[in-house]
Every structure is written in structure tokens, then in C-alpha cells.
């Protein structure tokens, strides 16, 4: 069974508001075994709403519309739905009394405009809204169920869970989603390692996306029961992990920083960071994880060279001979930071984030990362593509990933 | 002239990812006088992509597709577009050489899968992507222009501005958007100061949104010419600035950090930061601005108390008597950091970001911020609502904002 979600509102088509209702609904629909095949956004336009509903009821088994049920002149979902049904709006006297009562209980007088919210397409049913004055509507268009829900997110969420979901019942099966995050190779290289799992007809299926510098593998598992779908997820996770090995950074809500934190906590070890081009981003990522004070001592943002020499004891001659952006400088920063804060591990990062400051020998995107640990130091030289923010993000993730691999006892890939 | 935007991706239809590309595109299209009449989201399904493109090219003057141009098996926009055009994919040898070169310059070998990215529907044109390997495509379906752009937001944004917008030309009338960013009061308080400007029938109209801790006032100005629309923007900006005063942090792409940077550069002064609960976020925001090395020396992330005493010379007795989260501790951190790095200004921040660690006297959300400057110190005590990441974000913005107000010669609001 599949669904199309229609979001209504000029603020959505114009891009003034980011539309989030449909993402919530799609996840909820998946929980009752319904796949969302498409999402459509239309403006506050009666004809556009009507033709979208009519087309959706032809293309999908279920249609959910959000928005356009308020009391003002630009709320046109009622009329659009009536047009798609080929009927007229009629007044629901019982519902009118309810709305009048809603205002009376709040010591207010109902504005005449609110009368519109007691109007319903003939043959459709109003759905009570416990959280506001805009009722929902349950209807059928061409034999297919159509639900119109308010656009205010918490009203829409409540109405879907309390009123709509129970009417959908259980369909043939359950759809579960799960995400694995990988780092260390490009999207296409990673995809080539799991090409057979990405076959579109496979169940579970696997898709890849790139977000915040990580390649995320999204597993979609269909089953007749939650248990069956979960089993599909587990099998596929195992298969992906066996092929990608330590390239898999984490799952679900895990981040590179949270995984590094778990490893450090398990080892009862501490971490400090010395950052130049990433300017505090690595420390920020680490401390975004609740409880990071268990293992993170702090760090030095050594933006000016003077801070590198003075606080981190990087020798002036070393910076002069190799340059502040060099593996030698990164090692000096990491070892200096480790000694300064007396930590078990320290990351040192120096690079050229751009847009200016690059040269032929040392281009924008060059980042040197060093790791000082209990048994010595290691350094890596990367050239990251992209703009300033991308380079800083990739450098931060790479720094954390070198540490993750070292904590796992592996070696960091040099890219 | 109107447009339909099609976003492609299973991660979008399933609700795993919130779709934001279409909002960006709709705003940009409005800037060249094109109204977005609908947005459609479809999954990674060749047939669904093809029929959406075909239907959109019937319903709108312009079609923009984002996503599905990557190198993997679930990237099907190329094929869908070819189907909608009624043609086949052919290899663009010149483009293949470019992609091979992209990898070669980074010292990597092109995966065979990337060959797919040099395929183009016969009769269509590949659009260069300066920021990645996925080129865009310019085509015509039923006589209407169709542009397919990569799904990665910064690549999509660059390609629209650099390649697509110049081809669209000017249409009848111009809609311009402009944003002002305010900080220091809540959204409704700020809205009440400009209620008349927010009238929906006014031109220019003003709407408010809250994003990344700032209240953004979005001005929409319609005019017969760019000049007329621009004039409306300018008049409204002046009016808002006269009412909100120093609450207006900046405009357009400006951030609190970039404005602070401009003021420091103008004063030829330098800055250092000492961060505890914000864990590097303030330094990260400052160094996100290109050229920040002109005024930013660096900082200390003093997460463990030992770092506060040892590096920042905060007296142990002071931390014991007042607590590490106190205005006294923040002042000691700021003055210690200013002395350590020999800067003109230093910000010191200490607080409880949660979720644990709060008490009745010192709740989660308590953040103490101190400023050490050329003529003395000042400190502020805030209690921010929200979760860990919101508290850290607001604390970082508040720290930068205190400095901004001090640099402007005003006083920082105490909230």
C-alpha cells in the first residue's frame, strides 16, 4: 500500500518555510506498513489543491493533505477537496456549536470567519481536533481514502496518531528504516563494495546519501511483521559491516565524535585537541556529546602562529622551515597539546581552509593531521576538495576518524 | 512565468531527510520573477521520475529537478529525464575526461561507477559542477526548459546561481527578498515592534522566522523593476533598523561572528576566547569567517577545571568558593585568556549545557559570560531554555553579541 502526501501553503511553495510535516507523516506511515511514493506541495490555490487531490487519488492508495484548513481567506483545502469530490460544502451544525463552545470556554467570541471551519464537503466527515479549531476531514475520492489534516505541526501529529492511524489499521506488513554511517572513501567507492545490496528490487534495499561529510547507507526493510522487518535490517547491517569493516563509523544517531567518546570511556583515556584551520570545530563536535567531560579535557585553538609556539611549544624554527601547515607542525601541535594538558591522546590539525592562502605547493584544502597517543605519534596529509566550510568539516571528521581507527587498533586511511 | 521543482530521493519520500533544496530554489526563482507553483518529491524510481518530469513540463513553464545525479545505482534522474524526453543516454567523452581529471588531481583513481556521471540524455547538455563530480543537465521536454541539478545543497546552490539563473533571464516584474537578523528579544516581542510592517497586504511584506538562535525578518518586495523592488527593500530596512536599534545584528549573509569581525578589524583589535560549556563553538563561529586570522588569535577550550586553573590561571579557591559555573569564574577565564594570548579582547564562557549537571541553584541552561576588554571587564548571567545543542548555540551567540554591543559602545542586554 502506498500513499501520496500533499502539503498546502504559499509559504511552502515560495520557500519562506521549510516543509517538515510530510517527513513526519512518511515516517509514521512506514510504521504501519505504508510507503510514501511521492510528496506534493501546492500553494493556497483552490484549483491547484483540487487537481492535486484528484491526481493523487488516481496514483496512490491513500492521500493525506496537510494545511489550508484555517479560518482565513487563503485556507482553501476544504473547497479544493469538495471540488475533487465533485460536491459542495455544507454546514455541519454540530461542529459549529463545538467551535462556538471552544471560544466561549476561553472567554472569547467566535469571529465570523471561524464559521468556515464548520463547513465540510457533502459526503465527508469532520475529524475532531483536540488541540485547535481546525477540524480534519475524512473523505473518499474515486474510492480512495483522503484525509485532510491541519498544517500546524503538533495538531497534525496529534490528529494523525489519534484519529487517522487507527483507521488505517495494519496493512500487509511493516517497513523499518535504519542508517549506517561510513567514512574514509567516496560515495561511489563505498557503493561499489555493496553494489548487489543496492539492487532496487532487493529487500531490504540499501541507498546511499552524503550528509555532513559522511556517506550514509539507508536500509529499508519490509516484512509481514515488525520482527521480520527487523531481522532484515540486522542481516543487512552485518553484511555491510563485514564488507566495509572499519569504514563503518556508526549507526543511527551515532556520530564520529560519539563513537570516539565511547572508545575513550571504555579505555579510561583522556583527549585534548590542538586546532588551527578547524578553529574549534573538533572540540565543538566532541563536546556536543553529553557526558564528554568524562574523557575530554579541553583544547587550544592555535589560530595565530604565536599561539602554536607559545602555548603548544611548537618550535619557531620548525614552523619557519616546514611552514605552519606541515605534518611536522601538526605533530608538534599534538605532542605539545598532549604534554600541556597531560592527556592520553591529542589531535593536532593545521591546514589551509581558504578561500585564500593557498599556493602551488600548498593548495587550499591541504590539511595536516597528527595524532599523539600513549605509544607515539602519527601524521597524515590530506587535500580536501570543496569550499571553506566543507574543508573544515572534512578536516574535523578526518581528525576524529584517525583517532577512532587508532583506538580500534587499525591504521588510518591516507586520503 | 511559473516553475515546478522536483526533488528526487528515497530519503526524502521516506521522511529520513527533511527536504530543503526546494525552499532555497523557490526563493532564488522569485528573485528573477518566477513563481514556484508546486513542488514534487519522488523516490529513486526511474518511472516515477520520468512521469513527474513529463507532467511538470506540461503544467509549468520551467522545471527544476534536484538529486539523483550521483554515481550509484539508485541515482536515476538521468535515465528518468531521458525517458521523459523520449531519448537514450549517451556518453559525453569530454565530460568523462574531466571527471577522470578530478580524481587524478586528488591522487585517486576514478571508480568505474563514476563513468555514469558522464552519461547524458541525447540532445541534452551537461552543466559543469565546480564543487563535485555530479554535473547538472539542461534539457527540453515538450518545449519547456528542464534543469537537473545535484542534490548536495551547496553544489545545487552554486550551480543554480552560476549556471541556471543567468539562462533564465528577466521576467515580468521582480520579487526581491532580503533578510535582517535580530538578537536580544523573543520572536513575538520583536514582531510586536513591527506589527504594522507585517501586514500581509503590505508591499514590501515582512515575515519572521527563528533560525539558529536568531530572529530573522524576511522582507519580500515586489516591483515592476529591480530598482523599484530594491527601493522597497531599502525603505523597509531603514524603518526596521530605526525601531529595533542595536537588536539588528546584521543583514543577508552576515552573522554575529562576521559583524564582530568587521568591528574588530576596523578597530585593529584582536580577540581570544576561553570556552567551557560551548566547547569550541564560539571559536568555530569566528573562524568560519574567511580572513578571521586578521583579528582572531585563538582560544582555550577549558572543559576540565584543571585547564581553567592551569592554563587560564583561574584561582583554584575562586572555583571552589563560587563554583566553576559562576560570573566570577567567567571573569577569571576571560582575563586569564586575555593575558595568556595578549589580546585586546577576550570572551569567557562557563555554563551547564545539560542534560545532567543542573541543580536548583544552578539549573541546566545557566550560562555565565564575561568580557575582558581594553577598559575592564563585564559579566552576564543567562538561563537559556532548550536542549544541550540549543543552550550551547544561544550561549555562543550571546557571547559574541555581548562583544558586538561592547564594540558598538552600547551595553549588553541582560537576558
The shortest C-alpha distance from B3 to chain A (Å) reads 10
- Check whether B325 has a pLDDT greater than 60: yes
pLDDT digits (tens, 9 = 90+) for A254-280: 999 999 999 999 999 999 999 999 999
pLDDT digits (tens, 9 = 90+) for A353-410: 999 999 999 999 999 999 999 999 999 999 998 889 999 999 999 999 999 999 998 5
| CA atoms of B32 and B29, how far apart (whole Å) | 5
B11 in the same domain as B125: yes
| CA atoms of B31 and B251, how far apart (whole Å) | 17
User: Average of pLDDT values for A127-153?
Assistant: 90
A415 domain residue, yes or no: no
The whole-number pLDDT of residue A133 equals 72
If you compute the radius of gyration of chain A from its CA atoms, what whole number of angstroms results? 28
pLDDT digits (tens, 9 = 90+) for B39-49: 999 999 999 99
- Check whether B114 has a pLDDT greater than 90: no
Cβ–Cβ gap B24/A12 under 8 Å: no
Of A128-142, A220-234, B53-67, B211-225, least confident by mean pLDDT is B211-225
pTM for the full predicted model:
0.76
Angstrom CA distances, A370 to A138, A401, B178, B185, stand at 61, 12, 43, 43
The whole-number pLDDT of residue A116 equals 83
A240 in the same domain as A373: no
- Check whether B412 has a pLDDT greater than 60: no
| CA atoms of A221 and B161, how far apart (whole Å) | 38
B415 domain residue, yes or no: no
Alpha helices (runs of H) in A311-413, residue ranges in sequence order: 316-322, 327-341, 388-408
Q: Hey, CA dihedral for B158, B163, B167, B169, is it positive or negative?
A: positive
Of A180-194, A398-412, B341-355, least confident by mean pLDDT is A398-412
User: Average of pLDDT values for A97-115?
Assistant: 80
The whole-number pLDDT of residue B78 equals 96
In chain B, residues with a C-beta closer than 8 Å to the C-beta of A386 are 131, 154
Bridge partners, B141 (sequence order)? B144
The shortest C-alpha distance from B127 to chain A (Å) reads 18
Top residue of B10, B11, B15 to mutate, by most chain A CBs within 10 Å, is B15
Out of B52, B108, B281, name the one closest to residue A284 (CB).
Answer: B281
Q: Domain of A178: which CATH number? A: 3.30.70.2860
B413 domain residue, yes or no: no
B29 in the same domain as B83: yes
A404 in the same domain as A391: yes
A355 domain residue, yes or no: yes
pLDDT digits (tens, 9 = 90+) for A281-308: 999 999 999 999 999 999 999 999 999 9
pLDDT digits (tens, 9 = 90+) for A301-337: 999 999 999 999 999 999 999 999 999 999 999 999 9
A414 domain residue, yes or no: no
Closest B-chain CA to A282? B280
- Check whether B225 has a pLDDT greater than 70: yes
User: Average of pLDDT values for B236-243?
Assistant: 97
Domain count, chain A: 3
In chain B, residues with a C-beta closer than 8 Å to the C-beta of A284 are 278-281, 284
Any idea what DSSP says for residue A320?
H
Q: Mark B32-68 as b/e (b = at least 16 C-beta within 10 Å).
A: bbbbbbbbbbbbbbbebbbbbbbbbbebbbbbbbbbb
Side-chain-side CA neighbours of residue A189 (13 Å): 12
Out of A12, A283, A385, name the one closest to residue B301 (CB).
Answer: A283
A128 domain residue, yes or no: yes
B276 in the same domain as B180: no
Cβ–Cβ gap A298/B304 under 8 Å: yes
B56 domain residue, yes or no: yes
Top residue of A33, A287, A288, A336 to mutate, by most chain B CBs within 10 Å, is A287
By residue range, what is the domain housing residue B10? 2-168
The whole-number pLDDT of residue A413 equals 39
Domain boundary among A143, A168, A193: A168
Beta strand residue intervals within A98-243, DSSP E: 119-121, 125-127, 136-141, 144-149, 174-182, 205-211, 214-223
- ipTM exceeding cut-off 0.90 for this assembly: no
A90 in the same domain as A22: yes
- Check whether B335 has a pLDDT greater than 80: yes
B189 in the same domain as B229: yes
In whole numbers, what is the pLDDT of chain B averaged over residues?
91
Cα–chain-centroid distance for residue B115? 32
pLDDT digits (tens, 9 = 90+) for A20-52: 999 989 988 887 788 999 999 999 899 999 999
Phi and psi torsions of B346, nearest 5°: -145, 140
Out of B27, B74, B280, name the one closest to residue A284 (CB).
Answer: B280
Domain boundary among A206, A234, A251: A251
pLDDT digits (tens, 9 = 90+) for B88-106: 999 998 888 888 888 888 7
Of A231-240, B181-190, B209-218, B394-403, least confident by mean pLDDT is B209-218
B24 in the same domain as B164: yes
B31 in the same domain as B73: yes
The shortest C-alpha distance from B41 to chain A (Å) reads 5
The shortest C-alpha distance from A97 to chain B (Å) reads 30
Cβ–Cβ gap A19/B23 under 8 Å: yes
Q: Domain of B354: which CATH number? A: 3.90.950.20
Helix (H) or strand (E) holding B91: strand B89-91
A82 in the same domain as A203: no
Of A57-71, A290-304, B61-75, B103-117, least confident by mean pLDDT is B103-117
The whole-number pLDDT of residue B147 equals 97
A238 — alpha (psi -120 to 50), left (phi > 0) or beta?
Answer: alpha
The whole-number pLDDT of residue A172 equals 61
The shortest C-alpha distance from B282 to chain A (Å) reads 8
User: Average of pLDDT values for B238-259?
Assistant: 95
Bridge partners, B148 (sequence order)? B65, B137
Out of B11, B52, B284, name the one closest to residue A209 (CB).
Answer: B11
The whole-number pLDDT of residue B211 equals 66
The whole-number pLDDT of residue A414 equals 37
Cα–chain-centroid distance for residue A307? 37
B204 against A133, higher pLDDT: B204
The whole-number pLDDT of residue B108 equals 81
Sequential DSSP letters for A387-399: -HHHHHHHHHHHH
Cβ–Cβ gap B284/A284 under 8 Å: yes
The whole-number pLDDT of residue B415 equals 33
Which cell numbers hold the place of A333?
601541535
The whole-number pLDDT of residue A415 equals 32
The whole-number pLDDT of residue B210 equals 67
| CA atoms of A163 and A145, how far apart (whole Å) | 14
A339 in the same domain as A193: no
The whole-number pLDDT of residue B340 equals 97
A22 domain residue, yes or no: yes
Domain boundary among A251, A285, A304: A251
- Check whether B67 has a pLDDT greater than 50: yes
pLDDT digits (tens, 9 = 90+) for B261-294: 999 999 999 999 999 999 999 999 999 999 999 9
- Check whether B239 has a pLDDT greater than 90: yes
Amino acid at each position: 500500500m502506498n500513499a501520496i502526501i500533499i502539503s498546502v501553503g504559499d509559504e511552502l511553495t515560495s520557500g519562506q518555510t521549510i516543509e517538515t510535516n510530510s517527513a513526519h507523516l512518511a515516517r509514521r506511515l512506514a510504521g504501519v506498513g505504508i510507503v510514501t511514493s511521492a510528496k506534493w506541495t501546492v500553494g493556497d490555490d483552490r484549483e491547484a489543491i483540487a487537481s492535486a487531490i484528484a491526481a493523487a487519488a488516481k496514483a496512490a492508495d491513500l492521500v493525506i493533505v496537510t494545511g489550508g484548513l484555517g479560518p482565513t481567506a487563503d485556507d482553501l483545502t476544504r473547497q479544493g477537496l469538495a471540488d475533487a469530490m465533485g460536491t459542495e460544502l455544507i454546514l455541519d451544525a454540530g461542529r459549529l456549536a463545538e467551535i462556538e463552545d471552544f471560544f466561549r470556554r476561553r472567554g472569547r467570541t467566535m469571529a465570523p470567519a471561524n464559521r468556515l471551519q464548520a463547513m465540510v464537503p457533502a459526503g465527508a466527515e469532520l475529524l475532531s481536533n483536540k488541540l485547535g479549531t481546525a477540524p480534519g476531514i475524512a473523505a473518499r475520492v474515486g474510492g480512495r481514502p483522503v484525509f485532510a489534516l491541519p498544517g500546524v505541526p503538533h495538531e497534525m501529529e496529534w490528529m494523525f496518531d489519534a484519529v487517522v492511524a487507527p483507521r488505517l489499521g495494519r496493512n500487509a506488513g511493516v517497513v523499518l528504516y535504519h542508517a549506517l554511517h561510513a567514512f574514509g572513501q567516496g560515495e561511489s567507492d563505498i557503493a561499489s563494495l555493496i553494489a548487489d545490496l543496492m539492487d532496487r528490487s532487493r529487500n531490504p534495499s540499501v541507498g546511499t546519501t552524503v550528509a555532513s561529510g559522511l556517506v550514509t547507507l539507508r536500509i529499508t526493510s519490509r516484512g509481514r511483521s515488525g520482527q521480520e522487518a527487523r531481522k532484515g535490517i540486522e542481516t543487512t547491517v552485518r553484511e555491510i559491516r563485514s564488507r566495509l569493516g572499519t569504514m563503518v563509523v556508526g549507526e543511527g544517531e551515532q556520530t564520529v565524535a560519539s563513537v570516539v567518546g565511547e572508545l575513550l570511556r571504555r579505555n579510561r583515556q583522556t583527549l585534548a585537541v590542538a586546532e588551527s584551520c578547524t578553529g574549534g570545530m573538533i572540540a565543538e563536535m566532541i563536546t556536543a556529546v553529553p557526558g564528554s567531560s568524562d574523557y575530554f579535557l579541553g583544547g587550544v585553538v592555535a589560530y595565530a602562529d604565536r599561539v602554536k609556539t607559545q602555548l603548544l611549544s611548537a618550535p619557531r624554527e620548525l614552523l619557519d622551515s616546514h611552514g605552519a601547515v606541515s605534518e611536522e607542525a601538526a605533530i608538534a601541535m599534538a605532542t605539545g597539546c598532549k604534554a600541556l594538558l597531560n592527556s592520553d591522546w591529542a589531535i593536532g590539525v593545521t591546514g589551509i581552509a581558504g578561500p585564500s592562502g593557498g599556493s602551488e605547493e600548498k593548495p587550499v584544502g591541504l590539511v595536516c593531521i597528527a595524532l599523539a597517543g600513549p605509544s607515539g605519534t602519527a601524521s597524515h596529509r590530506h587535500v580536501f576538495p570543496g569550499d571553506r566550510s566543507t574543508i573544515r568539516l572534512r578536516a574535523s571528521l578526518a581528525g576524529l576518524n584517525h583517532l577512532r581507527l587508532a583506538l580500534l587498533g587499525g591504521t588510518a586511511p591516507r586520503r
